[in-house]
A and B are shown apart, each in its own frame.
Chain A
């Protein structure tokens, strides 16, 4: 433990810098991964059971968005226009491609019907380039459950951020 008020200005600046570097490095690693995979969100957590038994709630998925020629059978993650919730479903039909935009129809393995009901009003297919944020290339079971807890109990976020900040600021070396 050390007394913050007794620090020299440079020492205080160095302590704050340590904390800022932890946060910014995490952010920049994420952005670096985004650039490498060409996806705005290269790692997502499965939020629903609609893809069981392939993926469970809480699974962590790794996405790749560089191969644009998505085939039937691939699992893709897309955002519905106007909503910000990523949905993980399997491609069951593809139309177009080549010179025109590639259009996809998706369906959850565990759902009875395809996704036309989920899409935005007036939309009956996904535009590969605009709507899809990546194809699933790997996953780790269950570890994403923490983020589900964090989004369902938002006060946990504050607690976690506070704890992180305190440890970095109060420890020296």
Chain B
């Protein structure tokens, strides 16, 4: 279940890119009605970018063959069109894509669970006419902090989840798919329904730091201290295990 390429474990962008690349692989191969990936966002970006480049290329060709005097009249409009397209391209990346690494849907034909067909769904995002689940995922990392932040939007409802990369990268830098899939299936209910075997109960293994609430730890410590002073078994404090 490990990927074949090895990444340097201290390189945050390598960790993020490898994880980003693993998302569509998993989501399109879920055992229960997998997601169909939509490339709408990337395709629009590529069309915008390549159109701008084509304008520059054509202008370059005619400037080269015909010279400045003959192309003068077209140069101004071409430059304007290029920078307009470039502006839209930049806007698309920053305001529309916003780091989206996966967009996809599950069709209503394949719905197995009756609950899903009564879900409220957003119609504002226009890349699919499917009536099933629609999902988009945008990932980010904060500078120098090896935690993967994923903003998941399922049928218009937003969910922010995060986990340290150590959860699915081995110490020598191999991506391990299983814990990554378990994390997604456990945190995101739609994925959990599509892949029930990967849903795991959170039992607070050492590498999960986010679930630990200081006041609860304090409670456990108080219990242990009380147990020690009253002479009962210190182990009784462990009864407050989460999960």
Contact = CB atoms under 8 A, between A and B. Distances in A.
A40 B5 contact: no
Contacts, number: 60
Q: How many residues of B sit at the interface, in one of the four size bands?
A: 20 to 34
Main DSSP-derived SS at the A contact region = helix
Q: How many residues of A sit at the interface, in one of the four size bands?
A: 20 to 34
Interface in A30-87: 31-32, 34-35, 40
A161 to B, nearest CB: 15
Contact of A35 (B45, B57, B67, B75): B75
A32 B79 contact: yes
B63 A172 contact: no
A153 to B, nearest CB: 24
A13 B39 CA distance: 13
A24 interface: yes
A3 interface: yes
A32 B5 contact: no
Interface in B61-83: 63, 67-69, 72, 75-76, 78-79, 82-83
Interface stretch (B46-54, B155-163, B175-183): B46-54
A24 B53 contact: yes
A6 B25 CA distance: 14
7 contacts: A14-B45, A17-B46, A17-B49, A20-B53, A23-B56, A25-B86, A34-B75
